[in-house]
Amino acid sequence: MLYGTFVLMTGLLVSVFGVFWLHTFLWWRKDFWEKRELRARGIFFPQHVRPDEAGHIYRRFSLFDIVIHFTMMVTFIGLVLTGLPLKFSHAPWAIGLMHFLGGARMAGLIHRICAGITFAYFGTTMAYIAYFLFFKKIRGNPGFFQRLFGPDSLSPRWKDIQDIIGMIRWFLNKGPKPRFDRWTYWEKFDFLAVFWGMFAIGFSGLMLWFPGFFTLFLPGWILNIATIVHSDEALLASGFIFTVHFFNTHFRPSKFPIDTVIFTGRFPKYELVEERQEHYRRLLAENRLETYRDKYPSVGTDLFSTIVGFAMVAIGLLCVFLIAWEFLV
Amino acid sequence: MKPKFAKTGLFFLILSFSLFLTLGMSWAATSGPEKEGGKLPVVTKPSGPAEKVEKFVVRGREYGYESIDNSECLGCHKKINQRKFAQSVHGANSCNSCHYDITDINVHAEARKARIHAGPVTCHRCHKKEAEEHYASAHFLNDIQCKDCHQDIHEMTPWKGDKVRVIKTCTTCHSYDGYSESVHGKAVLEGNPDSATCSDCHGLHKIPLLKGDEPKTVEFRKEFHTEVCQKCHADKEMMERNKVFLIATQTYYESYHGKVEHLGYPKLVAGCTDCHGFHNILPPDNPKSLISEGRLVETCGKCHRHANANFVQ
- Name the interface residues of B facing A (CB cutoff 8 Å): 253, 256, 258-260, 262-265, 268-269, 304-308, 310-313
Show residues of chain A in contact with B310, CB under 8 Å: 215-220
Query: Greater confidence, A264 or B246?
Result: A264
Average pLDDT over residues A131-154: 84
Mean pLDDT of A162-184: 92
User: How many CB atoms are closer than 10 A to CB A326?
Assistant: 17
Q: Tell whether the model's pLDDT for residue A156 goes beyond 80.
A: yes
* Contact check, Cβ <8 Å, A220/B311: yes
CB contact under 8 A, A103 and B260: no
Counted residue by residue, chain B has a size of: 313
Whether A62 shows a pLDDT value over 70: the answer reads yes
Q: What is the pLDDT of residue A272?
A: 86
Are the beta carbons of A212 and B306 separated by less than 8 Å? Answer: yes
CB contact under 8 A, B310 and A104: no
Q: In the CATH hierarchy, which fold is given to the domain comprising A2-44+61-264+298-328?
A: Fumarate Reductase Cytochrome B subunit (1.20.950)
Nearest beta carbon to residue A105 from set B262, B268, B308 = B268
CB contact under 8 A, A104 and B306: no
Cβ atoms B294, A202 nearer than 8 A: no
Segment among A31-40, A115-124, B210-219 with least mean pLDDT:
B210-219
How far A78 CA lies from chain B's nearest CA (Å)? 18
| pLDDT of res. B42 | 46
The answer to whether residue A130 scores a pLDDT higher than 80 is: yes
CA distance B203 to chain A (A): 28
Q: Inter-chain contact A94–B263, Cβ cutoff 8 Å?
A: yes
In this prediction, residue A111 carries a pLDDT of 94
Are B286 and B178 a contacting pair, CB within 8 Å? no
pLDDT per residue, tens digit, chain B (313 aa), is: 565 667 777 888 888 888 888 887 877 666 544 444 444 444 444 444 444 445 556 666 555 555 667 777 777 777 778 888 888 888 777 777 777 666 667 766 776 655 565 555 677 778 888 888 888 787 877 788 887 888 887 888 887 778 888 888 888 888 888 888 888 888 888 888 888 888 888 878 877 766 554 555 556 666 667 777 888 888 888 888 887 777 888 888 888 888 888 887 766 777 888 888 878 888 888 888 877 777 888 888 887 877 677 776 6
| Partners of residue B263 in chain A, C-beta under 8 Å | 85-86, 89, 94-95, 98, 104
Partner-chain contact B263 A212, CB within 8 Å: no
Query: Is A270 buried (19+), middle (13-18) or exposed (0-12) by CB count in 10 A?
Result: middle
State the pLDDT at residue A120: 93
Taking the CB of residue B78, how many other CB atoms lie within 10 A of it? 8
Partners of A103 on chain B (C-beta within 8 Å) are 265
| Mean pLDDT, residues A239-245 | 90
Decide if A220 and B259 are in contact by the 8 Å CB cutoff.
no
Nearest-CA distance from A88 to chain B in Å?
Answer: 8
Strands A266-268 and A57-59, bridge-based pairing: antiparallel
Q: What is the pLDDT of residue B38?
A: 44
Can you tell me the mean pLDDT for A94-117? Answer: 90
Q: What is the radius of gyration, based on Cα positions, of chain A?
A: 22
Q: Per residue, what are the HEC states of chain A?
A: CHHHHHHHHHHHHHHHHHHHHHHHHHHHHHHHHHHHHHHHCCCCCCCCCCHHHCCCEEECCCHHHHHHHHHHHHHHHHHHHHHHHHHCCCCCCHHHHHHHCCCHHHHHHHHHHHHHHHHHHHHHHHHHHHHHHHHCCCCCCCCHHHHHCCCCCCCCCHHHHHHHHHHHHHHCCCCCCCCCCCCCHHHHHHHHHHHHHHHHHHHHHHHHHCHHHHCCCCCCCHHHHHHHHHHHHHHHHHHHHHHHHHHHHHHCCCCCCCCCHHHHCEEEHHHHHHHCHHHHHHHHHCCCHHHHEECCCCHHHHHHHHHHHHHHHHHHHHHHHHHHHHHHC
Is the CB of A220 less than 8 angstroms away from the CB of B268? Answer: no
Contact A105 B312 (CB under 8 A): no
pLDDT digits (tens, 9 = 90+) for A310-328: 999 999 999 999 888 888 8
Q: What is the pLDDT of residue B303?
A: 79
Mutate which: B218, B260, B261, B300, vs A, most A CBs within 10 A: B260
Q: How many residues does chain A have?
A: 329
pLDDT higher at B27 or A226: A226
Residue B180 in contact with residue B186, Cβ under 8 Å?
yes
Each domain of chain A, given as residue ranges in start order, spans: 2-44+61-264+298-328
Residue of B256, B262, B265 lying closest to A227 (CB–CB): B256
Distance from CA of A186 to the nearest CA of B (A): 35
Question: Are the C-beta atoms of residues A66 and A265 closer than 8 Å to each other?
Answer: yes
What is the per-residue pLDDT for A105? 86
Contacts of A219 in chain B (CB under 8 A): 310, 313
Mutation choice for B interface testing from A6, A89, A100, A225 by most B CBs within 10 A: A89
Preferred mutation among B221, B253, B310 to probe A, highest tally of A CBs within 10 A = B310
Q: How confident is the model over A52-65, as a mean pLDDT?
A: 87
Scanning every residue of chain B, which has its alpha carbon at the shortest distance from the alpha carbon of A103?
B265
Terminal alpha carbon distance of chain A: 30
A86 with B253: Cβ contact below 8 A: no
CB of A5 less than 8 A from some CB of B: no
The per-residue pLDDT for B59 is 66
Q: Are B206 and B136 in contact (CB under 8 A)?
A: yes
Tell me the average pLDDT across A77-81: 93
* Chain B residues close to A227, C-beta within 8 Å: 256
Compare all CA atoms of chain B with the CA of A210 and give the residue at the minimum distance. B306
**Does the CB of A86 have a partner CB in chain B at under 8 Å?**
yes
Nearest chain B Cα distance for residue A149, angstroms: 43
B265/A86 Cβ within 8 A: no
